[in-house]
Amino acid sequence: MKTEFRKQQKSSSRFLLFWMKRFSAAAFLVALPLFAGANLLDEYKSGIVWPEPPVIQPGEGSAPPSDAIVLFDGKDLSQWEGGENWLIEDGVATVQKSGITSKQSFGDCQLHLEFATPSEVKGSGQGRGNSGVYLMQHYEVQILDSFENETYFDGQCASIYKQSPPIVNVCRKPGEWQTYDIIFTAPRFAEDGKVLKPAYVTVLQNGVLVQNHFELQGGTFWDAPPHYEKHADKLPINLQNHGNPMRFRNIWIRENVQSPVGTMPEGQDQGDKKPE
């Protein structure tokens, strides 16, 4: 009798185990896609209603992008005060007599220009192939023939004059065309002249990073330490005459250079929105 009872008990245990195993497997298979689905539902979205980035056309080859303001396309220097003083030949403008100043004023910007130092090497140090790009007429990105030409490092080509030597010297040989791509953030001043935000500059020379978001200490001066002097939100660009026949071509500038972050309408900034 007892043995019969044990047999029955053993058999029901096996039966239970059999179905428990199958139930666990089925539960796992059902739960798997649910977990996967839960991950999808958890995707992070900022919830910020961004303005659509404007569509622009990149230039073919070295041509400017479609939203650029062309400051010199090889034909004339009508966009510049003093442009009549320079020689224009074969699409190239050569420094003569004076510097030139853009008629239009700019603040934050992306500036592209191409330059060549004289192929006939004359002079040395700061006297060899010297010019410069003055952003807002205050902040000089040095242009110099720094191909095997010694000078002080914070005055060589691609330096922020007397403030920051270039990260590397990537100068081409005298006479060869070189490019500057400059990204500049203008300083912000309070009414009383206090600096609210300093200026920043990033420079690529021949496609290579030579200044990386450098914080300017103020205007660049030959005879004084850098310092800020309150000025307008936008000012012209100068190309320097330093007595050398420097050549320029393909100069263009873009003004739409700030990310929409920080320019959103009230209530749309990241602090006010929760992820949806």
The two structure tokens encoding residue 109: 């910007």
Q: How far is the CB of 132 from Mg ion (least distance, A)?
A: 3
Distance CA 214, CA 140 (A): 13
Cβ distance to Mg ion smaller for residue 130 or 250: 130
Q: How far is the CB of 91 from Mg ion (least distance, A)?
A: 24
Q: How far is the CB of 233 from Mg ion (least distance, A)?
A: 25
**HEC assignment per residue over 87-135:** EEECCEEECECECEEECCCECCEEEEEEEECCCCCCCCHHHCCCEEEEE
- Decide if 163 contacts 155 (C-beta within 8 A): no
Distance CA 108, CA 113 (A): 16
Cβ distance to Mg ion smaller for residue 110 or 240: 240
Cβ distance to Mg ion smaller for residue 83 or 132: 132
Give residue number: closest CB to Mg ion.
132
Cβ distance to Mg ion smaller for residue 132 or 166: 132
- Nearest Cα to 201, choosing from 215, 190, 188? 215
Cβ distance to Mg ion smaller for residue 242 or 273: 242
Any idea which residue has 């001066």 for tokens?
Answer: 221
Cβ distance to Mg ion smaller for residue 156 or 185: 156
Cβ distance to Mg ion smaller for residue 64 or 132: 132
What Rg, from alpha-carbon coordinates, does the chain have? 32
Q: How far is the CB of 242 from Mg ion (least distance, A)?
A: 5
Cβ distance to Mg ion smaller for residue 240 or 254: 240
Give the binding site for Mg ion (CB under 5 A): 130, 132, 240
- The DSSP secondary structure of 60-79, one letter per residue, reads STTPPPTTPEEEE-SS--TT
Q: How far is the CB of 140 from Mg ion (least distance, A)?
A: 6
Q: Compute φ and ψ for 263, nearest 5 degrees.
A: -115, 10
**68 CB contacts (<8 Å, ≥6 apart)?**
59, 112, 252, 253, 254
Q: How far is the CB of 130 from Mg ion (least distance, A)?
A: 5
- Decide if 76 contacts 83 (C-beta within 8 A): yes
- Decide if 156 contacts 211 (C-beta within 8 A): no
Q: How far is the CB of 68 from Mg ion (least distance, A)?
A: 25
Q: How far is the CB of 95 from Mg ion (least distance, A)?
A: 11
